[in-house]
Amino acid sequence: MVYCSTPDVSCRRHSCGQLGSLCVSASYVSVCYTVPQLIMPLCKKLEFTVIPAAPDEQASSKAWLSLLLESNALSFSSQVTVYACNLHSTVMLPSVDEVCSSASQGVVEECEVPSFSTLIDPERREVMLQVAIEEDSPYQLEMCLQHEHNGMCRTWKEKSLPLQSVTPCMCFQLWWDKGDERSRRSRSCPFRNNTELFQRNLWENVSVSVVRGQMNSGGAMLSWNLTAPCRVEAEVWPCQRDAGLDKDRCRELGDIRQHLSNDIWREIDRGHWLMPGVFEDVKPGLDLCVMVRHFYWLTL
């Protein structure tokens, strides 16, 4: 549904009665609109009659025309153009996000999205998803789970998840499956508050793999991959293990620490994020490892 107004409707055929009577003008406009599913626009010619307010032959006849369009083919962001002879007026329908403001919630059907909250059950060590008025909806509830707001959203069928798997960057998307593009989603990252529990879960799921290799120049190098549920702020550096009994002690090699940059992280299939790196020209024959010092989760 859209309102269009166009001035100076000048495509008209005049028909006048006796001297001093009003001249009646038969006018028309053409309305065309485009929708994403169709290449060619859909058009319709509308004819109507304009009766001047007074028999003033010297006055130029102008009129404002307001149109109310109702069509199942129209959708959010459709383009509507009204033609009146050599004049035209184009209107772009607002997007679904523009329409679904707080004032439109509960009024426009397309703006209806599932509302949900999370509840931590410390005894069962689970996080429960509670969806409001789920039983009242005629549509099937769909959910997906993602790590980071721009991560891949993977289908999620459960209403609970283990507490040890919850991380600060975990987000949910919920929507009613209406079978078309009207299914607007609600998005929420309820664990963004960096509680000690969620941060601990994050770092307990961080892993580092190290592989020795050889550079094209013949020198030794140490390749590493850091995997984490969320993109994190951290530093990595190579070190040499203690040759004694204490294998956990590690001595840093030089001043070659690497700071993890935001633009290098990439998502992998398991819903985790991967950061690759390499240390070049390391001394061969040493018992080397890679140390990681974490700072905080990157809230992007």
The CATH number that applies at residue 183 is 2.60.40
Average pLDDT in the 240-259 region? 74
Residue 135 and residue 159 in one domain: yes
Domain membership flag for residue 286: yes
Q: Has residue 15 got a pLDDT over 50?
A: no
Look at residues 63, 93, 123 and tell me which one is the last residue of a structural domain.
Answer: 93
Asked if 210 and 282 sit in the same domain, the reply is yes
Q: Outline where DSSP puts E strands in 51-183.
A: 65-69, 79-84, 87-92, 116-121, 126-131, 140-147, 154-155, 160-162, 170-177
**What's the mean per-residue pLDDT of the chain?**
76
Closest by CA to 157, choosing from 146, 143, 138, is 143
For residues 129 and 177, membership in a common domain is answered with: yes
Instruction: Reply yes or no on whether the pLDDT at 23 is more than 60.
Output: no
Q: Are residues 134 and 83 in the same domain?
A: no
For the ranges 51-60, 172-181, 213-222, the one whose mean pLDDT is highest: 213-222
pLDDT at 251 over 60: yes
Mean per-residue pLDDT, 22-51: 70
- Domain end call among 73, 93, 113: 93
One domain for residues 219 and 272? yes
Which one has a higher pLDDT value, 139 or 67?
139
Domain end point (choices 137, 170, 193): 193
The answer to whether residue 198 sits within a structural domain is no
Judge whether 236 and 291 are in contact, CB under 8 Å: yes
128 and 179 share one domain? yes
- pLDDT score at 173: 92
Structural domain of 220: 206-297
Q: How many domains does the chain have?
A: 3
178 shares its domain with 222: no
Distances (CA, A) of 149 to 27, 77, 146, 197, 237: 53, 24, 7, 20, 29
**Tens digit of pLDDT for each residue in 122-177?**
899 999 988 887 667 788 889 999 998 888 999 999 889 999 999 999 999 998 88
- The answer to whether residue 199 sits within a structural domain is no
For residue 285, is pLDDT > 60? yes
In 3D, which of 273, 117, 270 has the Cα closest to residue 188? 117
The answer to whether residue 56 sits within a structural domain is: yes
Report DSSP state, residue 98.
H
Q: Are residues 112 and 165 in the same domain?
A: yes
The region of weakest confidence among 69-78, 169-178, 193-202 is 69-78
Q: In this structure, what CATH number is given to the domain that contains residue 242?
A: 2.60.40.10
pTM, two decimal places: 0.65
The pLDDT, as a whole number, for residue 174 is 92
Check whether residue 188 and residue 265 sit in a common domain. Answer: no
pLDDT-based confidence at 96, cuts 50/70/90? confident
